[in-house]
Protein backbone atom coordinates (compact mmCIF):
# COMPACT_ATOMS: atom_id res chain seq x y z
CA UNK A 1 0.00 0.00 0.00
CA UNK A 2 1.30 3.41 -0.97
CA UNK A 3 0.50 6.69 0.75
CA UNK A 4 0.35 10.22 -0.49
CA UNK A 5 -0.15 13.62 0.99
CA UNK A 6 -3.53 15.34 1.31
CA UNK A 7 -1.85 18.39 -0.20
CA UNK A 8 0.23 16.68 -2.87
CA UNK A 9 -1.12 13.65 -4.73
CA UNK A 10 2.05 13.34 -6.81
CA UNK A 11 4.49 12.09 -4.17
CA UNK A 12 4.06 8.51 -3.10
CA UNK A 13 5.64 7.08 0.04
CA UNK A 14 5.70 3.63 1.60
CA UNK A 15 4.00 2.97 4.93
CA UNK A 16 7.42 2.96 6.63
CA UNK A 17 8.14 6.39 5.20
CA UNK A 18 4.73 7.72 6.20
CA UNK A 19 5.29 6.57 9.77
CA UNK A 20 8.91 7.68 10.03
CA UNK A 21 8.12 11.12 8.64
CA UNK A 22 4.74 11.86 10.28
CA UNK A 23 3.80 14.97 8.33
CA UNK A 24 4.42 15.43 4.61
CA UNK A 25 7.02 18.08 3.74
CA UNK A 26 4.45 20.57 2.37
CA UNK A 27 2.37 20.28 5.55
CA UNK A 28 -0.20 17.73 4.38
CA UNK A 29 -1.13 14.46 6.07
CA UNK A 30 -0.42 11.03 4.65
CA UNK A 31 -3.39 8.97 3.51
CA UNK A 32 -3.58 5.56 1.82
CA UNK A 33 -4.05 5.80 -1.95
CA UNK A 34 -6.94 3.31 -1.75
CA UNK A 35 -9.01 1.43 0.82
CA UNK A 36 -8.25 -2.25 1.24
CA UNK A 37 -11.27 -4.57 0.97
CA UNK A 38 -10.35 -7.59 3.07
CA UNK A 39 -12.47 -10.66 3.74
CA UNK A 40 -13.11 -9.26 7.20
CA UNK A 41 -15.81 -11.77 8.18
CA UNK A 42 -13.14 -14.45 8.33
CA UNK A 43 -11.56 -12.54 11.21
CA UNK A 44 -14.34 -13.44 13.64
CA UNK A 45 -12.97 -15.43 16.57
CA UNK A 46 -9.47 -13.99 16.43
CA UNK A 47 -7.99 -12.67 19.66
CA UNK A 48 -7.05 -9.00 19.80
CA UNK A 49 -3.40 -9.28 18.70
CA UNK A 50 -4.31 -11.49 15.73
CA UNK A 51 -7.13 -9.15 14.76
CA UNK A 52 -4.67 -6.26 14.96
CA UNK A 53 -2.26 -8.15 12.73
CA UNK A 54 -4.98 -8.62 10.10
CA UNK A 55 -5.90 -4.94 10.07
CA UNK A 56 -2.32 -3.69 10.20
CA UNK A 57 -1.08 -5.81 7.33
CA UNK A 58 -3.76 -4.39 5.05
CA UNK A 59 -1.97 -1.06 5.18
CA UNK A 60 1.58 -1.77 6.37
CA UNK A 61 2.53 -3.86 3.38
CA UNK A 62 6.26 -3.28 3.72
CA UNK A 63 6.27 -4.75 7.25
CA UNK A 64 6.79 -8.41 7.99
CA UNK A 65 3.60 -10.23 9.15
CA UNK A 66 5.29 -11.98 12.04
CA UNK A 67 6.69 -8.69 13.22
CA UNK A 68 3.20 -7.16 13.20
CA UNK A 69 1.77 -9.98 15.28
CA UNK A 70 4.60 -9.83 17.79
CA UNK A 71 4.32 -6.04 18.06
CA UNK A 72 0.57 -6.35 18.63
CA UNK A 73 1.13 -9.00 21.30
CA UNK A 74 3.62 -6.81 23.13
CA UNK A 75 1.35 -3.77 22.86
CA UNK A 76 -1.99 -5.30 23.81
CA UNK A 77 -1.02 -8.15 26.11
CA UNK A 78 -0.38 -7.80 29.82
CA UNK A 79 -0.45 -4.01 29.83
CA UNK A 80 -4.17 -4.12 28.94
CA UNK A 81 -5.01 -6.73 31.59
CA UNK A 82 -6.87 -8.88 29.11
CA UNK A 83 -9.25 -6.04 28.34
CA UNK A 84 -8.06 -4.80 24.95
CA UNK A 85 -11.13 -3.68 23.01
CA UNK A 86 -13.43 -4.53 25.92
CA UNK A 87 -17.12 -4.12 25.16
CA UNK A 88 -19.38 -3.53 28.16
CA UNK A 89 -23.15 -3.70 27.80
CA UNK A 90 -24.66 -0.65 29.44
CA UNK A 91 -28.32 -1.32 28.73
CA UNK A 92 -30.48 -2.84 25.99
CA UNK A 93 -29.17 -1.59 22.64
CA UNK A 94 -26.24 0.41 24.05
CA UNK A 95 -22.69 -0.68 24.74
CA UNK A 96 -19.56 1.09 25.98
CA UNK A 97 -16.36 0.21 24.18
CA UNK A 98 -14.00 0.72 27.12
CA UNK A 99 -10.69 1.82 25.71
CA UNK A 100 -9.01 2.83 28.96
CA UNK A 101 -7.71 -0.44 30.38
CA UNK A 102 -4.18 0.28 29.13
CA UNK A 103 -1.18 1.63 31.07
CA UNK A 104 -2.17 5.33 31.09
CA UNK A 105 -5.96 4.80 31.38
CA UNK A 106 -6.84 6.56 28.11
CA UNK A 107 -7.69 5.23 24.66
CA UNK A 108 -4.57 6.79 23.20
CA UNK A 109 -2.63 3.85 24.61
CA UNK A 110 -3.92 1.77 21.69
CA UNK A 111 -1.99 3.88 19.24
CA UNK A 112 0.93 4.85 21.39
CA UNK A 113 1.90 1.46 22.73
CA UNK A 114 2.14 0.16 19.17
CA UNK A 115 3.50 3.16 17.33
CA UNK A 116 7.02 3.18 18.85
CA UNK A 117 7.43 -0.39 17.66
CA UNK A 118 6.21 0.56 14.20
CA UNK A 119 8.59 3.50 14.11
CA UNK A 120 11.70 1.56 15.12
CA UNK A 121 10.84 -1.03 12.49
CA UNK A 122 10.11 1.66 9.88
CA UNK A 123 13.63 2.97 10.32
CA UNK A 124 15.03 -0.53 9.92
CA UNK A 125 12.90 -1.06 6.80
CA UNK A 126 14.27 2.17 5.38
CA UNK A 127 17.86 1.47 6.44
CA UNK A 128 17.81 4.78 8.29
CA UNK A 129 20.33 5.18 11.11
CA UNK A 130 19.20 8.64 12.14
CA UNK A 131 17.87 9.72 15.49
CA UNK A 132 14.16 10.55 15.61
CA UNK A 133 13.03 13.60 17.55
CA UNK A 134 9.36 13.34 18.38
CA UNK A 135 7.50 16.52 19.23
CA UNK A 136 4.08 16.08 20.78
CA UNK A 137 1.44 18.70 21.44
CA UNK A 138 -1.09 17.40 23.92
CA UNK A 139 -4.28 18.52 25.56
CA UNK A 140 -3.59 15.96 28.26
CA UNK A 141 -3.88 12.31 27.38
CA UNK A 142 -1.66 12.05 24.30
CA UNK A 143 1.32 13.38 26.20
CA UNK A 144 1.36 10.70 28.85
CA UNK A 145 0.47 7.91 26.45
CA UNK A 146 3.31 8.97 24.13
CA UNK A 147 5.79 9.27 26.99
CA UNK A 148 4.84 5.82 28.23
CA UNK A 149 5.16 4.35 24.75
CA UNK A 150 8.43 6.01 23.76
CA UNK A 151 10.47 6.26 26.93
CA UNK A 152 13.87 4.57 26.63
CA UNK A 153 13.24 3.50 23.03
CA UNK A 154 16.56 3.44 21.25
CA UNK A 155 17.25 6.15 18.68
CA UNK A 156 14.29 8.27 19.80
CA UNK A 157 14.03 11.51 21.79
CA UNK A 158 10.61 12.77 22.79
CA UNK A 159 9.53 16.23 23.91
CA UNK A 160 5.96 16.84 25.06
CA UNK A 161 4.21 20.23 25.14
CA UNK A 162 1.00 20.75 27.08
CA UNK A 163 -1.05 23.93 27.63
CA UNK A 164 -0.13 25.46 30.98
CA UNK A 165 -3.19 25.08 33.28
CA UNK A 166 -5.01 23.38 30.38
CA UNK A 167 -4.93 19.79 31.67
CA UNK A 168 -6.26 18.10 34.77
CA UNK A 169 -3.89 17.86 37.72
CA UNK A 170 -3.66 14.11 37.32
CA UNK A 171 -2.88 14.42 33.62
CA UNK A 172 -0.16 16.94 34.43
CA UNK A 173 1.38 14.73 37.11
CA UNK A 174 1.28 11.73 34.80
CA UNK A 175 3.49 13.68 32.42
CA UNK A 176 5.87 15.60 34.65
CA UNK A 177 6.75 12.50 36.68
CA UNK A 178 7.62 10.43 33.59
CA UNK A 179 10.80 8.43 33.90
CA UNK A 180 13.27 7.80 31.09
CA UNK A 181 16.50 9.28 29.77
CA UNK A 182 15.08 10.36 26.38
CA UNK A 183 12.03 12.33 27.53
CA UNK A 184 11.29 15.97 28.31
CA UNK A 185 8.07 17.79 29.15
CA UNK A 186 7.15 21.50 28.85
CA UNK A 187 4.17 23.59 29.87
CA UNK A 188 3.35 26.08 27.10
CA UNK A 189 1.70 29.46 27.66
CA UNK A 190 -1.56 29.35 25.73
CA UNK A 191 -4.14 26.71 24.92
CA UNK A 192 -3.85 23.38 23.11
CA UNK A 193 -4.19 24.95 19.67
CA UNK A 194 -1.28 27.29 20.45
CA UNK A 195 0.86 24.29 21.42
CA UNK A 196 -0.27 22.28 18.40
CA UNK A 197 0.28 25.15 15.99
CA UNK A 198 3.74 25.68 17.49
CA UNK A 199 4.66 22.03 16.98
CA UNK A 200 3.25 21.97 13.46
CA UNK A 201 5.24 25.08 12.58
CA UNK A 202 8.50 23.55 13.76
CA UNK A 203 7.77 20.28 11.96
CA UNK A 204 7.12 22.15 8.70
CA UNK A 205 10.13 24.50 9.01
CA UNK A 206 12.70 23.70 6.30
CA UNK A 207 15.51 25.60 8.02
CA UNK A 208 15.05 23.70 11.27
CA UNK A 209 14.73 20.41 9.35
CA UNK A 210 18.03 21.04 7.57
CA UNK A 211 19.85 22.15 10.68
CA UNK A 212 18.77 18.97 12.46
CA UNK A 213 19.45 16.78 9.41
CA UNK A 214 23.04 18.02 9.59
CA UNK A 215 23.19 16.39 13.01
CA UNK A 216 21.48 13.24 11.70
CA UNK A 217 18.23 14.01 13.51
CA UNK A 218 14.83 13.73 11.86
CA UNK A 219 11.74 15.39 13.25
CA UNK A 220 8.60 13.35 13.62
CA UNK A 221 5.28 13.53 15.38
CA UNK A 222 3.35 11.27 17.70
CA UNK A 223 0.20 13.34 17.32
CA UNK A 224 -2.77 11.84 15.63
CA UNK A 225 -1.61 13.47 12.42
CA UNK A 226 0.80 10.52 12.08
CA UNK A 227 -0.66 7.63 10.11
CA UNK A 228 0.89 5.27 12.66
CA UNK A 229 -1.46 6.74 15.25
CA UNK A 230 -4.60 6.17 13.23
CA UNK A 231 -4.18 2.65 12.04
CA UNK A 232 -4.13 0.89 15.45
CA UNK A 233 -7.46 2.56 16.22
CA UNK A 234 -9.19 0.87 13.30
CA UNK A 235 -8.76 -2.47 15.05
CA UNK A 236 -11.16 -1.92 17.94
CA UNK A 237 -14.08 -1.08 15.67
CA UNK A 238 -13.76 -4.60 14.30
CA UNK A 239 -13.23 -6.01 17.79
CA UNK A 240 -16.40 -4.32 19.05
CA UNK A 241 -18.40 -5.53 16.08
CA UNK A 242 -17.33 -9.14 16.54
CA UNK A 243 -18.17 -9.02 20.24
CA UNK A 244 -21.69 -7.86 19.38
CA UNK A 245 -21.96 -10.80 17.01
CA UNK A 246 -20.57 -13.19 19.62
CA UNK A 247 -23.15 -11.95 22.13
CA UNK A 248 -25.90 -12.59 19.61
CA UNK A 249 -26.81 -8.90 19.55
CA UNK A 250 -26.31 -8.71 15.77
CA UNK A 251 -25.96 -10.89 12.70
CA UNK A 252 -22.75 -10.43 10.73
CA UNK A 253 -23.58 -7.80 8.14
CA UNK A 254 -26.02 -5.83 10.29
CA UNK A 255 -25.21 -2.15 10.74
CA UNK A 256 -23.95 -0.73 14.03
CA UNK A 257 -23.66 2.93 15.00
CA UNK A 258 -20.67 4.31 16.87
CA UNK A 259 -20.71 7.50 18.90
CA UNK A 260 -17.24 8.96 19.44
CA UNK A 261 -16.15 11.74 21.81
CA UNK A 262 -14.14 13.79 19.38
CA UNK A 263 -11.32 16.33 19.39
CA UNK A 264 -8.73 15.92 16.68
CA UNK A 265 -10.99 13.62 14.65
CA UNK A 266 -8.52 10.72 14.83
CA UNK A 267 -10.59 8.20 16.75
CA UNK A 268 -13.74 8.73 14.71
CA UNK A 269 -11.82 8.74 11.43
CA UNK A 270 -10.50 5.29 12.28
CA UNK A 271 -14.15 4.22 12.29
CA UNK A 272 -14.53 5.73 8.83
CA UNK A 273 -11.60 3.65 7.62
CA UNK A 274 -13.14 0.54 9.16
CA UNK A 275 -16.33 1.32 7.24
CA UNK A 276 -14.42 1.84 4.00
CA UNK A 277 -12.83 -1.56 4.56
CA UNK A 278 -16.28 -3.10 4.59
CA UNK A 279 -17.30 -3.16 8.26
CA UNK A 280 -21.07 -2.53 8.46
CA UNK A 281 -20.93 0.80 10.23
CA UNK A 282 -24.13 2.82 10.06
CA UNK A 283 -23.57 6.30 11.38
CA UNK A 284 -20.43 7.60 13.02
CA UNK A 285 -21.69 10.17 15.47
CA UNK A 286 -19.27 12.94 16.28
CA UNK A 287 -19.75 14.10 19.87
CA UNK A 288 -18.28 17.46 20.86
CA UNK A 289 -18.26 19.47 24.07
CA UNK A 290 -18.95 23.21 24.25
CA UNK A 291 -16.13 23.72 21.73
CA UNK A 292 -18.59 22.64 19.07
CA UNK A 293 -16.78 23.70 15.92
CA UNK A 294 -17.26 20.20 14.48
CA UNK A 295 -21.00 20.14 15.21
CA UNK A 296 -21.40 23.35 13.27
CA UNK A 297 -19.26 22.02 10.44
CA UNK A 298 -21.07 18.72 10.13
CA UNK A 299 -24.42 20.49 10.17
CA UNK A 300 -23.65 23.42 7.88
CA UNK A 301 -20.44 22.71 5.96
CA UNK A 302 -18.81 25.80 7.42
CA UNK A 303 -15.69 25.28 9.50
CA UNK A 304 -15.18 28.38 11.57
CA UNK A 305 -12.25 28.36 14.00
CA UNK A 306 -12.65 32.04 14.87
CA UNK A 307 -14.65 31.54 18.00
CA UNK A 308 -14.22 31.64 21.71
CA UNK A 309 -12.17 28.80 23.16
CA UNK A 310 -13.68 27.17 26.24
CA UNK A 311 -11.97 25.14 28.93
CA UNK A 312 -14.37 22.33 29.71
CA UNK A 313 -14.59 19.29 31.96
CA UNK A 314 -13.55 17.18 28.96
CA UNK A 315 -10.18 18.86 28.24
CA UNK A 316 -8.94 16.26 25.75
CA UNK A 317 -11.67 17.47 23.41
CA UNK A 318 -11.00 21.19 23.88
CA UNK A 319 -10.01 22.03 20.38
CA UNK A 320 -10.74 24.54 17.63
CA UNK A 321 -8.64 23.13 14.80
CA UNK A 322 -9.34 19.45 14.34
CA UNK A 323 -6.36 18.09 12.37
CA UNK A 324 -7.63 14.81 10.99
CA UNK A 325 -10.63 16.41 9.37
CA UNK A 326 -8.16 17.22 6.60
CA UNK A 327 -7.93 13.51 5.82
CA UNK A 328 -11.71 13.22 5.56
CA UNK A 329 -11.83 16.25 3.26
CA UNK A 330 -9.28 14.56 1.06
CA UNK A 331 -11.22 11.33 0.84
CA UNK A 332 -14.44 13.19 0.11
CA UNK A 333 -13.04 15.62 -2.48
CA UNK A 334 -10.29 13.40 -3.89
CA UNK A 335 -8.37 16.57 -4.63
CA UNK A 336 -5.13 17.82 -3.10
CA UNK A 337 -5.77 21.24 -4.67
CA UNK A 338 -9.11 21.59 -2.94
CA UNK A 339 -7.78 20.42 0.43
CA UNK A 340 -4.76 22.69 0.12
CA UNK A 341 -7.13 25.55 -0.69
CA UNK A 342 -9.39 24.92 2.30
CA UNK A 343 -6.43 24.56 4.65
CA UNK A 344 -4.70 27.73 3.53
CA UNK A 345 -8.02 29.57 3.79
CA UNK A 346 -8.33 28.20 7.32
CA UNK A 347 -4.92 29.49 8.32
CA UNK A 348 -5.42 32.86 6.54
CA UNK A 349 -9.05 33.62 7.40
CA UNK A 350 -9.85 31.15 10.16
CA UNK A 351 -12.62 29.48 8.18
CA UNK A 352 -13.68 27.67 5.04
CA UNK A 353 -16.92 26.24 3.69
CA UNK A 354 -17.22 23.00 1.73
CA UNK A 355 -19.63 22.64 -1.20
CA UNK A 356 -23.15 21.27 -0.74
CA UNK A 357 -22.15 18.09 -2.53
CA UNK A 358 -19.16 17.57 -0.27
CA UNK A 359 -21.26 18.18 2.81
CA UNK A 360 -23.86 15.66 1.64
CA UNK A 361 -21.12 13.06 1.15
CA UNK A 362 -19.84 13.69 4.67
CA UNK A 363 -23.33 13.58 6.19
CA UNK A 364 -23.94 10.20 4.60
CA UNK A 365 -21.44 8.75 7.07
CA UNK A 366 -21.38 11.22 9.96
CA UNK A 367 -23.95 12.61 12.36
CA UNK A 368 -23.10 14.99 15.20
CA UNK A 369 -24.07 16.66 18.43
CA UNK A 370 -22.61 18.53 21.37
CA UNK A 371 -23.03 18.82 25.13
CA UNK A 372 -21.99 21.50 27.59
CA UNK A 373 -20.48 20.82 31.02
CA UNK A 374 -23.85 20.98 32.76
CA UNK A 375 -25.32 18.40 30.40
CA UNK A 376 -22.22 16.25 30.81
CA UNK A 377 -22.62 16.25 34.59
CA UNK A 378 -26.31 15.34 34.23
CA UNK A 379 -25.38 12.48 31.94
CA UNK A 380 -22.78 11.06 34.35
CA UNK A 381 -25.45 11.01 37.06
CA UNK A 382 -28.04 9.53 34.75
CA UNK A 383 -25.76 6.71 33.56
CA UNK A 384 -24.86 5.91 37.14
CA UNK A 385 -28.41 5.96 38.45
CA UNK A 386 -30.18 4.27 35.54
CA UNK A 387 -27.57 1.77 34.42
CA UNK A 388 -25.09 1.58 37.27
CA UNK A 389 -22.49 2.69 34.76
CA UNK A 390 -19.68 4.97 35.93
CA UNK A 391 -18.20 7.04 33.12
CA UNK A 392 -15.78 9.92 32.75
CA UNK A 393 -16.57 13.34 31.36
CA UNK A 394 -15.45 12.61 27.76
CA UNK A 395 -17.50 9.45 27.58
CA UNK A 396 -20.47 11.30 29.05
CA UNK A 397 -20.39 13.78 26.16
CA UNK A 398 -20.82 10.83 23.82
CA UNK A 399 -23.55 9.13 25.88
CA UNK A 400 -25.57 12.31 25.85
CA UNK A 401 -25.08 12.93 22.13
CA UNK A 402 -25.88 9.28 21.33
CA UNK A 403 -29.13 9.50 23.26
CA UNK A 404 -30.15 12.74 21.56
CA UNK A 405 -29.34 11.23 18.18
CA UNK A 406 -31.52 8.19 18.89
CA UNK A 407 -34.39 10.31 20.15
CA UNK A 408 -34.20 12.72 17.22
CA UNK A 409 -33.86 10.11 14.46
CA UNK A 410 -35.56 7.01 15.84
CA UNK A 411 -32.55 5.06 14.57
CA UNK A 412 -32.74 1.69 16.37
CA UNK A 413 -29.38 0.28 15.25
CA UNK A 414 -27.18 -1.01 18.09
CA UNK A 415 -25.18 1.88 19.54
CA UNK A 416 -21.58 1.56 20.65
CA UNK A 417 -20.30 4.53 22.64
CA UNK A 418 -16.53 4.80 22.69
CA UNK A 419 -15.46 5.21 26.29
CA UNK A 420 -12.15 7.00 26.07
CA UNK A 421 -10.91 7.59 29.61
CA UNK A 422 -11.17 6.07 33.07
CA UNK A 423 -13.57 7.99 35.35
CA UNK A 424 -10.75 8.07 37.90
CA UNK A 425 -8.76 10.34 35.61
CA UNK A 426 -11.29 13.12 36.26
CA UNK A 427 -12.42 12.24 39.76
CA UNK A 428 -13.42 15.75 40.89
CA UNK A 429 -15.82 16.37 38.02
CA UNK A 430 -17.25 12.86 38.23
CA UNK A 431 -17.84 13.13 41.99
CA UNK A 432 -19.49 16.52 41.66
CA UNK A 433 -21.72 15.14 38.91
CA UNK A 434 -22.81 12.37 41.27
CA UNK A 435 -23.90 15.04 43.70
CA UNK A 436 -21.03 14.52 46.08
CA UNK A 437 -18.74 17.11 47.53
CA UNK A 438 -15.55 17.08 45.45
CA UNK A 439 -12.31 17.82 47.29
CA UNK A 440 -10.03 20.31 45.52
CA UNK A 441 -7.15 17.87 45.59
CA UNK A 442 -7.41 15.29 42.79
CA UNK A 443 -6.07 12.45 44.92
CA UNK A 444 -8.49 13.14 47.74
CA UNK A 445 -11.20 13.19 45.07
CA UNK A 446 -9.98 9.86 43.71
CA UNK A 447 -10.26 8.29 47.15
CA UNK A 448 -13.67 9.84 47.71
CA UNK A 449 -14.85 8.45 44.38
CA UNK A 450 -13.56 5.01 45.36
CA UNK A 451 -15.44 5.19 48.64
CA UNK A 452 -18.66 6.43 47.10
CA UNK A 453 -18.80 3.95 44.20
CA UNK A 454 -17.02 0.99 45.79
CA UNK A 455 -14.75 0.72 42.72
CA UNK A 456 -10.98 0.85 42.70
CA UNK A 457 -8.93 3.52 40.97
CA UNK A 458 -6.34 2.12 38.55
CA UNK A 459 -3.03 1.59 40.36
CA UNK A 460 -1.09 3.66 37.82
CA UNK A 461 -3.16 6.71 38.80
CA UNK A 462 -3.28 6.15 42.53
CA UNK A 463 0.52 5.79 42.74
CA UNK A 464 1.22 9.14 41.04
CA UNK A 465 1.18 11.00 44.30
CA UNK A 466 4.41 9.42 45.46
CA UNK A 467 6.37 10.04 42.27
CA UNK A 468 8.93 12.89 42.10
CA UNK A 469 8.25 15.74 39.64
CA UNK A 470 11.01 15.88 37.00
CA UNK A 471 9.86 18.69 34.69
CA UNK A 472 8.87 22.25 35.64
CA UNK A 473 9.75 24.44 32.61
CA UNK A 474 7.12 26.85 31.24
CA UNK A 475 7.77 28.21 27.74
CA UNK A 476 6.12 30.31 25.03
CA UNK A 477 4.98 28.62 21.80
CA UNK A 478 7.83 30.21 19.80
CA UNK A 479 10.35 28.51 22.10
CA UNK A 480 9.28 25.07 20.84
CA UNK A 481 11.78 25.71 18.02
CA UNK A 482 14.55 26.23 20.58
CA UNK A 483 13.69 22.95 22.26
CA UNK A 484 13.91 21.16 18.91
CA UNK A 485 17.20 22.82 17.98
CA UNK A 486 18.64 22.11 21.42
CA UNK A 487 18.43 18.35 20.82
CA UNK A 488 21.82 16.65 20.86
Ligand X SMILES: *Cc1c(COP(=O)(O)O)cnc(C)c1O
Residues 104-123 that bind ligand X (CB under 6 A): 106, 108
Interacting span for ligand X (CB under 6 A) from 176-184, 265-273, 327-335, 346-354:
265-273
Q: Which of the ranges 125-133, 209-217, 255-263, 334-342 carries the binding residues for ligand X, by CB under 6 A?
A: 255-263
Q: How does DSSP classify residue 160? A: E
Q: Compute CA distances 25 → 131, 194, 362, whole Å.
A: 18, 21, 27
d(CA 326, CA 106): 24
Nearest to 73, CA basis, from 53, 100, 58: 53
Q: Which is nearer to ligand X, 141 or 429 (CB)?
A: 141
| Residue 262 binds ligand X (CB under 6 A) | yes
Sheet architecture: strand order including 86-91: 86-91, 94-98, 415-419, 256-261, 281-288, 366-370
- Count Cα atoms within 13 angstroms, Cβ side, for 194: 15
Tell me whether residue 198 or residue 315 sits nearer to ligand X (CB atom): 315
- Least Cβ distance, residue 98 to ligand X (angstroms): 12
Closer residue to ligand X in complex, CB, 217/464: 464
Helix (H) or strand (E) holding 353: strand 351-353
Which run of H or E residues covers position 259? Answer: strand 256-261
Q: Which of 41, 108, 283, 467 is catalytic?
A: 108
**Is 15 or 422 the residue whose CB approaches ligand X more closely?**
422
Round the CA-based radius of gyration of the chain to a whole number and report it. 21
Distance from C-alpha of 447 to C-alpha of 414, rounded to nearest angstrom: 35
- Using the contact rule CB under 6 A, the part of the chain among 152-160, 256-264, 370-378, 477-485 near ligand X is 256-264
Q: Does 237 bind ligand X (CB under 6 A)?
A: no
CB 121 within 8 A of CB 19: no
Min dist. Cβ of residue 400 to ligand X (A): 14
Supply the DSSP symbol for 130: -
Please tell me whether residue 3 adopts helix, strand or coil conformation: strand
484, exposed or middle or buried, with CB in 10 Å at 0-12, 13-18, 19+?
buried
Nearer to ligand X by Cβ, of 106 and 239: the residue is 106
Q: 415-419 and 256-261: which strand pairing? A: parallel
Can 108 be counted among the known catalytic residues?
Answer: yes
**For ligand X, which stretch binds (CB under 6 A), given 19-27, 31-39, 264-272, 459-467?**
264-272
Identify residues 374-433 at the interface with ligand X (CB under 6 A).
394, 420-421
Least CB distance to ligand X at residue 372 (A)? 16
Q: Is 102 in the site for ligand X (CB under 6 A)?
A: no
Q: Which is nearer to ligand X, 63 or 236 (CB)?
A: 236
Q: Does 266 bind ligand X (CB under 6 A)?
A: yes
Minimum distance from CB of 269 to ligand X (Å)?
8
Footprint on this chain of ligand X (rule: CB under 6 A): 106, 108, 141, 224, 261-267, 316-317, 394, 420-421
Q: Which residues are catalytic?
A: 108
Amino acid sequence: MQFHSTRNQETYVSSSQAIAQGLSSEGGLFVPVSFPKPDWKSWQGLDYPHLAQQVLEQFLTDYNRDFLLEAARQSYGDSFQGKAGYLNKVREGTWALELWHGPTCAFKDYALQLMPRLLVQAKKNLGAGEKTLILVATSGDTGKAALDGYHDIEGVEIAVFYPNHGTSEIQRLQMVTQEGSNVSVYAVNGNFDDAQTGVKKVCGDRVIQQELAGRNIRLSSANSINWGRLIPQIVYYFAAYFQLADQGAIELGQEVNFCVPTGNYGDILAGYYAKQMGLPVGKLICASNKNNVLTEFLESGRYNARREFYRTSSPSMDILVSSNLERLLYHVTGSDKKVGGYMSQLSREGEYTVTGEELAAIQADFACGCANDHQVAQEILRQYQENGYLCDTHTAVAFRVAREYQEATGDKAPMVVLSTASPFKFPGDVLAALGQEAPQDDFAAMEALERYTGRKAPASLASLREKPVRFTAVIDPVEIADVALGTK
